[in-house]
Structure 1
Amino acid sequence: MSASHPEELLAQVAALPPLPGVYRYFDAQDTLLYVGKARNLKKRVSSYFTKQHGGTRIGHMVGRIARLETTVVRSEAEALLLENNLIKSLQPRYNILFRDDKSYPYLKITGVAQKDGTGDAPGQRFPRIAYYRGGTDKRHRYFGPYPGAWAVKESIQLLQKVFRLRTCEDTVFANRTRPCLLYQIKRCTAPCVGLISTEDYAGDVASAEALLRGETQELLQLLEQRMLAHSQRLEFEQAAEVRNQITALSRVLHQQAIETVSDKDVDILAVRVQGGRACVNLAMVRGGRHLGDRAYFPVHVEEAAGVWHAEDGPEGEPGSGPAHDVAAQVLEAFLAQHYLAVPVPPTLIVSEPVRPELVQALSQQAGVRITAVHQPREQRRAWLEMAQQNAELQLARLLTEEGSQQARTRALAEVLDLDTENLDQITIECFDISHTAGEATQASCVVFHHHRMQNSEYRRFKIEGITPGDDYAAMRQVLTRRYTPVAEAQREAGGAELPNRRARLPEVVLIDGGKGQVGVAREVFAELGLDIARIVGVEKGEGRKVGLEELVFADGRPKLFLGRDSAALMLVAQIRDEAHRFAITGMRAARARVRVGGSRLEEIPGVGPKRRARLLQRFGGVRGVQEASVQDLMTVEGISQTLAEEIYRALR
């Protein structure tokens, strides 16, 4: 075993059991380096410390290992699922990571009647179709997921054209006295005023569901039978309506090239790797319809590619199993992480081979048999080729954008005389103050590193105890609050560089302001004992025209004019504008709470910013929310009956 590692760690490795499990490596600062799985923990983990890895990435990682944690599980499938749960939640440096995206949208059909008779309300007798994003429940029927909002809205329009189902909210539906415009343009059958019977409407809903499930041929046959039945009963008007539906449906099937293949629900996954970056393009087929695609870009690809290994080989050592290239690594990481929270369809069409163990784990998790097809034919092949082409296009776009952004970072580093050897680590924090005539003053702090804005690290500061409109006092307060903990941490560490980004002083502290604001920042940093050379102000130029800004320095350097076409100024303007936007949105939200009393809603557990905004928008303000019944509150997206009752009680 390696003599460079602590004896306690090596003893722990020697004592590991020969069982399946998951292991985690930490460095001396207790930062998680890597999460891995093993068929045999003892053989797998021991191999890291007994082999010579030289100057490779895996050697660099092994040299940093100071601590080890392991979890024993019952099977390889459990190990794989646990491994990727930990990767998603802990985000280690040497694992390929797909960051969480927004949840997928669904098409929802509301109004499932309840056994206790509560399904007799008009809105439940005549279900509506709606766009939906969030958790699902048994009261409604959901179709999807869809790759984006546009795909859901396109499907809703399709159902409106063919089956003329309603889309209006229940509150609107219950108060209609005459048909709306959608009835006039033949997109709704006006159930709100009784122009269609409950039975006929239910038939249209059932037909719509059949179409969404991909049962197109069965649906056409059913409609033809229904049309003939109306004709035989001499119900010619009803027969004509069904005939119109058949015509509209046939036209839609032809225009949208809806396939009648046996594949109803399929995901197509194509991977492209270039320039140290990777793209996974996920295309979705639901109900036989190709709904479109979405691109995903993992992080840590270069770091993980040198460390990742195949499944245990005969000796259980890293890399002793089948050879996997980076594209296969990326695809398997995506499959394992993505389908932790998203339903997996029965068929996956993939551009790279996938190990049977992974497919088995996905099947075990989903409770249904999953098939991964690597070399498809016919229609499946056409789908895969389209996904591969889109992956190439998306990756090329990303590399172009990142190349431009890296050039901007380098240009700014050169202008400010920063170290250009490690551009990824250059961190910029920018501050801005926003208020309206002194009301609801907010300060924003936005963060830039790794050549992009880091939204998850943004912070807002509520400014209090100052004279309204005093921007200098507001700037003094926000800088003191932000950097006092940094100064204290530096003193405790004896001036050493700290691993925690929040406890480190950024390379550049950007101030949206000129000489006065920079002077305030210099005073704060001097009081805290911090390096004032990192303070840079952005002073508006003559006539406050964009492109004429000048940089103002706290350490006495003369002002610097970069020029309208400067890449460095473009980056400064991008960060400054983002700080301004972030401060403005916070100020407006705070002002709205003061003026309409939204703070009462904030105090209700379970009512966050999104739900509060939906409530205020639906009912026109807090007074409207106060006057709404429990049933009215439940019509708002994301408001359950329990939460509606809690809101009703809290506002009385």
Structure 2
Amino acid sequence: MSRRKADPPGFDGKAAAAALPAAPGVYRMLNADGGVLYVGKARALRNRVGSYFNATPKPTRIMAMLAQVARIEVTVTRSEADALLLENQLIKSLQPRYNVMLRDDKSYPFVLLTREDWPRIAFHRGPRAIPGRYFGPYPSAVSVRDTLNLMHKLFRLRSCEDSVFRNRSRPCLQHQIGRCSAPCVGLVDAGDYAHAVRRASLFLEGRSEELGDELAAAMQQASDSLEFEQAARLRDLIATIRKLQARQYVDGRNADLDVLAVAMQGASACVLLLAFRDGRNLGTRAFFPRTNGEDSAAEVLAAFVSQYYAEQPPPAEIVLDRDIPERELIEQALAEHAGRRVELRSNVRGERAAHLDLVKRNAELALATELTSSGAQQARVDGLRELLGLAEPPKRIECFDISHTMGEATVASCVVFDAAGPVRNQYRRYNIAGIEPGDDYAAMHQALQRRFRPAVEGEPDIVLPDVLLIDGGAGQVAQARDVLQENGVAGVVLVGVAKGPARKAGAETLLLPDGREVQPGAASPALQLVQQVRDEAHRFAITGHRGRRQKARATSRLEDIAGIGPRRRAALLKHFGGLSGLKAAAVDDIARVEGVNRALAERIWASLHGLEQGAANEQA
């Protein structure tokens, strides 16, 4: 049930709080423009919201927020635990100005076990769109790969992509070195492979004891049936798993736990996570939540725990470097989310205390490294301001670069940096067309026109850069100057970045707006920033160019074959997973694609292999 309070003149917080129910729920504080300032949970909404407007002294951060409040909206929930879950969802979706927020632009790595007739086990990062089971998340890609390495040794599941799996005619190297049972060529029956998949699932779920008992029973059954080779294989597998368990004890038993510590310096915070699953140390990961003025390490840690484990399955035990507010409530909410008991502990001894001490020291080190990196970035921005004679440090820097191979598949890149570093979600690529191949000046002119023309046409939300870097010499800079003048763009500082005669890093010449050409030298923070932005633009352009060139070449190979139109071309590439899969296919396999008859399949095979059509008949 939702309730919304009208905007009273000057906003009377006490009156607004008095009108609220004494029920659990979530409250949202909004400013005059309707923007969400803060999201909070409450056991009793009336009491919690009213506490903001009593005579008790408040921290500066809270007073600054209350001065902007124009309205309060609330949502009543069934319980305080439900309020905690809703609070986390709203913080993530609304991004309130005064909440502590976990920020992490990297997706978590998982182990994926696909749902197929012959399941594949693989590394996965990104949206969980592939049908199957996802085990994790893991703190790092290294820990995932270590786990996969172990899984292949123990259970010999396939790792190859479906396009390769469907087109194998003999076992690959993975089978030869004992890491795959070769289901692609029928060297393992479906029942045995299904047993291996189930056992791998038990292992990844941390149910090693149950797995060991199941394997022991299977070994006894094989022995009773006089299948001694199978019994020996199971014996070796059990021995390997028991050996792993013996190495992975924590405090005398297998552990499924996370260890967390927070380090703070001013407005910056680092939360370091050390993860154990089934006793295996999966490594550490550092997070840098946005504190929004919160200076209590315990509050930051509490916000991290509730937000992080609202998205990720919590382990049975979470060890913290300090007690946190509302620990019992967070435990209750996490237990409901996980469907089992979850314990938060801060007073530990033995090995857990040793792990906690290690995590504390690493959190402080990670925060110091992050602050040093941020400080260095700020020094480079300040250096560029001084070099260009700007009144203020540039808030937005854009750089353009051109990439092609002898005029083929020309691509222009535009990368964006702010004071903190790259803003990757604002990068842009421009596919260049309608120019003479290899004409870099025309390519630069076209890309810049497409970038700045919307500003002249009055499109909303067009943000102009403070500094525009052009990777090139006087010719490219002249093109940029012409485009800015044609479109009436003012206030953009234009700088050319020309490589030195030896094309050595640090010897670049900067073409400044006043006509000067300077060589700041490799030790200059300003040039280091320019190099960082220029190199990123170069990398982004090359990546786009290679993708466009490969796509053009792959497509043209099929376009040259008589009888292949866009629909058949798309069907072939989709069926075989790309040109490489199509090239590896036999004529009979190609002929099974919808719309492709035997004669056309022979022409396709012969063309892709550079042979006469008669060779296709022989191959078939």
Q: Same fold (TM over 0.5)?
A: yes
Quick one: distance in 2 between partners of 1:589 and 1:469? 18
3-state SS, counterpart of residue 544 of structure 1:
coil
The residue identity in structure 1 corresponding to 2:419 is H
Q: Does 2:397 align with 1:408? A: no
Work out which of the residue numbers 455, 476, 496 in structure 1 matches 2:445. Answer: 476
Q: 1:406 to 1:135 in 2, by over 3 A?
A: closer
Match of 2:613 in 1: none
Quick one: distance in 1 between partners of 2:488 and 2:166? 66
User: In the comparison of the two structures, how many residue pairs are matched?
Assistant: 568
Q: Does the 8 Å CA contact 1:258/1:290 hold for their aligned counterparts?
A: no
Q: 1:237 to 1:393 in 2, by over 3 A?
A: same
Q: Does the 8 Å CA contact 2:320/2:346 hold for their aligned counterparts?
A: yes
Quick one: distance in 2 between partners of 1:86 and 1:362? 17
The 5 A counterparts of 1:226-305 are 226-254=218-246, 256-257=247-248, 264-299=255-290, 301=291, 303-305=292-294
Measured after TM superposition, the shift of residue 488 of structure 1 is 6.7
Match of 1:644 in 2: none
The residue identity in structure 1 corresponding to 2:377 is Q
Q: Does the 8 Å CA contact 2:378/2:420 hold for their aligned counterparts?
A: yes
Deviation larger for 223-232 or 158-167: 223-232
Match of 2:103 in 1: 99
Quick one: distance in 2 between partners of 1:292 and 1:140? 25
The 5 A counterparts of 1:13-412 are 14-15=15-16, 17-19=19-21, 20-26=25-31, 33-38=37-42, 56-63=60-67, 65=68, 68=71, 70-74=73-77, 75-110=79-114, 123-124=117-118, 127-133=119-125, 140-169=132-161, 172-173=164-165, 176=168, 178-192=170-184, 195-196=187-188, 198-254=190-246, 256-257=247-248, 264-299=255-290, 301=291, 303-305=292-294, 325=296, 327-354=297-324, 355=326, 356-412=328-384
The residue identity in structure 1 corresponding to 2:581 is F
Match of 2:616 in 1: none
3-state SS, counterpart of residue 578 of structure 2:
helix
**Per-residue Cα deviation, 1:608-635 (whole angstroms, up to 9, x for no partner):** xxx98993377358999997869xxxxx
Measured after TM superposition, the shift of residue 408 of structure 1 is 1.4
Match of 2:617 in 1: none
Match of 2:464 in 1: 505
The 5 A counterparts of 1:605-644 are 615-616=577-578, 619=581
The residue identity in structure 2 corresponding to 1:523 is D
The residue identity in structure 2 corresponding to 1:70 is E
Work out which of the residue numbers 411, 416, 424 in structure 2 matches 1:442. Answer: 411
Measured after TM superposition, the shift of residue 550 of structure 1 is 1.7
What CA RMSD, in Å, does the superposition of the two structures yield over aligned residues? 4.1
Q: Does the 8 Å CA contact 2:27/2:45 hold for their aligned counterparts?
A: yes
Q: Does 2:508 align with 1:517? A: no
Deviation larger for 375-384 or 37-46: 37-46
3-state SS, counterpart of residue 577 of structure 2:
helix
Q: 1:362 to 1:209 in 2, by over 3 A?
A: closer
Measured after TM superposition, the shift of residue 353 of structure 1 is 2.0
The residue identity in structure 1 corresponding to 2:135 is F
Q: Does the 8 Å CA contact 1:88/1:99 hold for their aligned counterparts?
A: no
Show structure 1 runs of 5+ residues with no match: 1-5, 113-122, 307-324, 491-499, 631-652
TM-score of the two chains, using structure 2 as the length reference: 0.78
Q: Does the 8 Å CA contact 2:430/2:447 hold for their aligned counterparts?
A: yes
The residue identity in structure 2 corresponding to 1:428 is I
Quick one: distance in 1 between partners of 2:515 and 2:165? 67
Show structure 2 runs of 5+ residues with no match: 1-6, 560-565, 595-620
Quick one: distance in 1 between partners of 2:463 and 2:249? 55
Measured after TM superposition, the shift of residue 452 of structure 1 is 0.9
Measured after TM superposition, the shift of residue 192 of structure 1 is 4.9
3-state SS, counterpart of residue 186 of structure 1:
coil
**Per-residue Cα deviation, 1:194-244 (whole angstroms, up to 9, x for no partner):** 555555544444443333333434444544454444445444333332332
Measured after TM superposition, the shift of residue 25 of structure 1 is 3.0
Q: Does the 8 Å CA contact 1:261/1:288 hold for their aligned counterparts?
A: no
Quick one: distance in 1 between partners of 2:446 and 2:130? 50
Quick one: distance in 2 between partners of 1:612 and 1:45? 57
Match of 1:558 in 2: 516
Q: Does the 8 Å CA contact 2:220/2:231 hold for their aligned counterparts?
A: yes
Measured after TM superposition, the shift of residue 455 of structure 1 is 0.8
Match of 2:607 in 1: none
Deviation larger for 573-582 or 233-242: 233-242
Match of 1:451 in 2: 420
Match of 2:554 in 1: 596
Match of 1:586 in 2: 544
Quick one: distance in 2 between partners of 1:444 and 1:192? 42
**Per-residue Cα deviation, 1:163-196 (whole angstroms, up to 9, x for no partner):** 4344344555555555443343333344555555
Q: 1:85 to 1:197 in 2, by over 3 A?
A: closer
Percentage identity across paired residues of the two chains: 45
Measured after TM superposition, the shift of residue 409 of structure 1 is 1.6
